[in-house]
């Protein structure tokens, strides 16, 4: 059974701070990793994808992947109240292409 | 269409009735997923279709749940004899599978089901 675990939260940070979201996965053959953002009452939307070890930056977002440790993280710099949402980690690839989601971490950015 | 389309967007049904939820994936996407999300909870995998392969039904919670997909087009999720615990938003997603990578999935807006 493939598992994806996220820090349960909720996570609360002040505006302007760095928010750090973490995710571990059980399937060592996983090859694709995604972060989705979900606002309350809305469907998930993709914000970052990463496939190789190291960091990937996109604006205020940085995804970090360490396949040896089976760990992927998302850093949000200069957090804004509009970043307040649930962040979902998803893992896929390997023996099949199905994505497995974590349960999500609720982030609140306080003005 | 441009995105994943789901219908109905909202459905209120009486306990014991059957419901059918529809998903129209992004054109050309070979993979299609159904997830369930109860209020305040995470995504719960239900079923996965990939091309003409046998679907992965490992997430269906009971035999009251079934889903079909014709080729690489529309899928329907059917819940028979609905129970109050079936109340949730049912999310459909699709992806263009490109080998082991690139299987970014895109979600529809969901079908909100309330069983009274």
Best probe of the A interface among B23, B103, B106, B111, by most A CBs < 10 A, is B103
Q: For position B39, what pLDDT does the model report? A: 85
Report the C-alpha gap between B74 and B37 in whole angstroms. Answer: 21
Backbone dihedral angles phi then psi of residue B85, each to the nearest 5 degrees: -70, -5
Q: For position A1, what pLDDT does the model report? A: 65
Asked whether the predicted pLDDT for residue B85 surpasses 80, the reply is yes
Burial of A46 (0-12, 13-18, 19+ CB in 10 A): middle
Q: For position A99, what pLDDT does the model report? A: 79
Residues (pLDDT < 70) of chain A are: 1, 93-97
Interface of A with B (CB under 8 A): 31-32, 34, 42-46, 49, 51, 88, 90, 92-94, 96-104
Asked whether the predicted pLDDT for residue B100 surpasses 60, the reply is no
Asked whether the predicted pLDDT for residue B96 surpasses 70, the reply is yes
Asked whether the predicted pLDDT for residue B104 surpasses 90, the reply is no
- pLDDT tens, B49-81? 988 888 989 999 999 999 999 887 899 999 999
Q: For position B103, what pLDDT does the model report? A: 64
Task: Determine, for residues B101 and A90 on separate chains, whether the beta-carbon distance falls below 8 Å.
Answer: no
- pLDDT tens, B6-63? 999 999 999 999 999 999 999 988 889 999 999 878 888 899 898 888 898 999 999 9
Cβ–Cβ < 8 Å for B67, B77? yes
């Amino acid at each position: 059974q493939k598992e994806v675990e996220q820090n349960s939260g909720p996570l609360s940070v002040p505006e302007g701070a760095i928010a750090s979201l973490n995710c571990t996965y059980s399937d060592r053959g996983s090859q694709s990793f995604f972060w989705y953002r979900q606002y309350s009452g809305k469907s998930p939307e993709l914000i970052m994808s990463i496939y190789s070890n190291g960091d990937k930056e996109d604006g205020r977002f940085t995804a970090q992947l360490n396949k040896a440790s089976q760990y992927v993280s998302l850093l949000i710099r200069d957090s804004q109240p509009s970043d307040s949402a649930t962040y979902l980690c998803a893992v896929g690839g390997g023996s099949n292409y199905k994505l497995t989601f974590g349960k999500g971490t609720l982030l609140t950015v306080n003005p | 269409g441009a995105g994943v389309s789901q219908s109905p967007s909202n459905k209120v049904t009486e306990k014991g009735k059957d419901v059918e939820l529809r998903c129209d994936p992004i054109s050309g996407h070979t993979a299609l997923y159904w997830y369930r999300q109860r209020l305040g909870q995470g995504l719960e995998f239900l079923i996965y279709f990939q091309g003409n392969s046998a679907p992965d039904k490992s997430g269906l919670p009971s035999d009251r749940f079934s889903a079909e997909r014709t080729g690489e087009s529309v899928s329907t999720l059917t819940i028979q004899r609905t129970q109050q615990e079936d109340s949730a938003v049912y999310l459909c997603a699709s992806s263009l599978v490109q080998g082991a990578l690139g299987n970014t999935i895109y979600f529809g807006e969901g079908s909100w089901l309330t069983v009274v």
